[in-house]
């Protein structure tokens, strides 16, 4: 019955992905007992995982009710996206690590996958490329504190972007190709500042797309 720390990490990632991929849409009520039964463990480690998710602002635990997947109003979404843009601008400023040939190659691989995605779209593949691009860029960040914040904000906003991408999948694959093309160019020039500003720009473009699809002052779902 012993569950090591790795097991709880797997459960955390599983639940986080389910929330980000809208398997658990905002407002969903999660029950500790049900999750415990599903993963074959007791409520205690499940509660620890839910507390971590709550700290990441993905869920809210309410006594006597359950653990509710959070939603965002337009103000909160704006705050997150504005912050993400500012964090992107810092990527190349706060002592980034040196860009290598391997980084460039990894981005070129992702670009190839994105190009194939234009002809043959798949939501799952889109998401995986997005994730990989995020991990690639996060790894360039030298400042550990910035990297943590960058990571948290990515997961905090991912599902709302994923939702928009699901609703209008025609353009997003092409946009991803454009974004990765710029990332490849910046990496080829070994210019971390350019990588950061590219990220800032496409985060801003994405936010504009989200706002256009959103009636003002209305909850998202």
Question: What residue ranges bind DNA (CB under 7 A)?
Answer: 1-5, 7-8, 30-34, 41-45, 47-48, 61-67
The rounded distance, in Å, linking the Cα atoms of 212 and 128 is 25
Tell me how far, at minimum, the Cβ of 170 lies from a copy of itself, in Å. Answer: 31
C-beta of 34 vs 213, nearer to DNA:
34
Tell me how far, at minimum, the Cβ of 49 lies from DNA, in Å. Answer: 9
Assess 111 for contact with a copy of itself (CB under 8 A).
no
Assess 95 for contact with a copy of itself (CB under 8 A).
yes
The rounded distance, in Å, linking the Cα atoms of 158 and 131 is 10
Selected binder of a copy of itself within 93, 168, 208, 213 (CB under 8 A): 93
Tell me how far, at minimum, the Cβ of 15 lies from a copy of itself, in Å. Answer: 16
Q: Residue 221 touches which of DNA, a copy of itself, none (CB < 5 to 8 A by kind)?
A: none
Q: Residue 138 touches which of DNA, a copy of itself, none (CB < 5 to 8 A by kind)?
A: none
Tell me how far, at minimum, the Cβ of 129 lies from a copy of itself, in Å. Answer: 26
Write the interaction track for a copy of itself spanning residues 52-81; mark x where CB under 8 A is met and - where it is not: x--x-------x------------x--xx-
Q: Residue 166 touches which of DNA, a copy of itself, none (CB < 5 to 8 A by kind)?
A: none
């Amino acid at each position: 019955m012993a569950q090591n720390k790795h097991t709880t990490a797997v459960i955390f990632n599983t639940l986080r992905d389910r929330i980000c991929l809208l398997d658990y849409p905002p407002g969903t009520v999660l029950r500790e007992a049900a999750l415990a039964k599903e993963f074959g463990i007791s409520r205690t480690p499940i509660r620890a995982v839910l507390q971590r998710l709550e700290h990441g602002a993905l869920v809210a635990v309410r006594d006597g009710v359950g653990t509710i997947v959070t939603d965002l109003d337009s103000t909160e979404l704006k705050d997150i996206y504005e912050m993400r843009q500012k964090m992107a601008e810092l990527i190349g400023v706060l002592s980034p690590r040196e860009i290598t040939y391997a980084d460039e190659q990894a981005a070129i691989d992702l670009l190839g996958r994105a190009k194939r995605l234009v002809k043959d779209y798949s939501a799952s593949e889109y998401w995986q490329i997005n994730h990989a691009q995020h991990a690639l860029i996060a790894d360039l960040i030298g400042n550990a504190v910035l990297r943590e914040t960058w990571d948290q904000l990515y997961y905090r906003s991912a599902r709302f972007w994923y939702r928009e991408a699901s609703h209008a999948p025609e353009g997003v694959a092409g946009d991803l190709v454009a974004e990765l093309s710029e990332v490849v160019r910046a990496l080829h020039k070994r210019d971390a500042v350019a990588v950061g500003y590219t990220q800032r720009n496409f985060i801003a473009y994405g936010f504009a797309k989200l706002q256009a699809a959103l009636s003002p002052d209305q909850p998202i779902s």
